[in-house]
Amino acid sequence: MPIESALVVLIPEVECLVETFRMRYDPTAAIGVPAHVTILYPFISHDKLTTDITTTLRELFLKLPSFTTSFPEAQRFPDILYLAPVPSEPFRQLTEIIARNFPDTLPYGGAFAEIIPHLTVAQVSDLQQLDEIAADFHEVARDKLPIYVRVNTVSLMDNSGGYWQIRAQFSLRPDKQAS
């Protein structure tokens, strides 16, 4: 497995709802990636992550305000069931700012034209199976959504030890209007 890194917003508040589904149907959960919204993956390779890069990230994120989001419902891509954050724009802005400052790191390696922030619940290629997973998830989540989350940090994770781990965390600027 190549050594990679990613910038993510960890969402522990939804872990109790999605953990069972993610452990069964999201291959990243089994290798240490907690419930999250991706900001930029793949990011800079582990061997090129320098102190200057982490300092730049720290400075960039401190210029961006923390924010509140919610996860009111599950949605789908063709092979993914996910929770959609509302609003999604703050996540998109984080991605765009980092991609602008690190132009060699395209979101999702440039595979998608549009940035759609999401928290993966299940990823399977069998559409009938995904329909069944979605029905099961909707039943489990019925009285638990929406989940509200305060986003204050972005985490840098890598798989240099074979298992994804947090290597650094970067604070967003405190929002003076937040209570």
- Residues 70-110 have pLDDT tens digits of 999 999 999 999 999 999 999 999 999 999 999 998 777 76
Q: For residues 128 and 143, is the Cβ–Cβ distance under 8 A?
A: no
- Residues 44-80 have pLDDT tens digits of 988 899 999 999 999 999 999 999 999 999 999 999 9
**Total number of residues shown for the chain:** 179
Pairing of strands 119-123, 80-86: antiparallel
pTM, two decimals, is 0.94
Please state the domain extents for the chain. Answer: 21-171
For residue 169, count CB atoms less than 10 angstroms from its CB and return exposed for 0-12, middle for 13-18, buried for 19 or more: middle
Largest CA distance in the chain: 47
Query: Mean of the pLDDT values across residues 18-42?
Result: 96
Query: Mean of the pLDDT values across residues 132-137?
Result: 98
Q: Supply the pLDDT for residue 107.
A: 79
Q: For residues 74 and 83, is the Cβ–Cβ distance under 8 A?
A: yes
CATH number among 3.40.50.10860, 3.90.1140.10, 2.40.30.70, 3.40.50.2000, domain 21-171: 3.90.1140.10
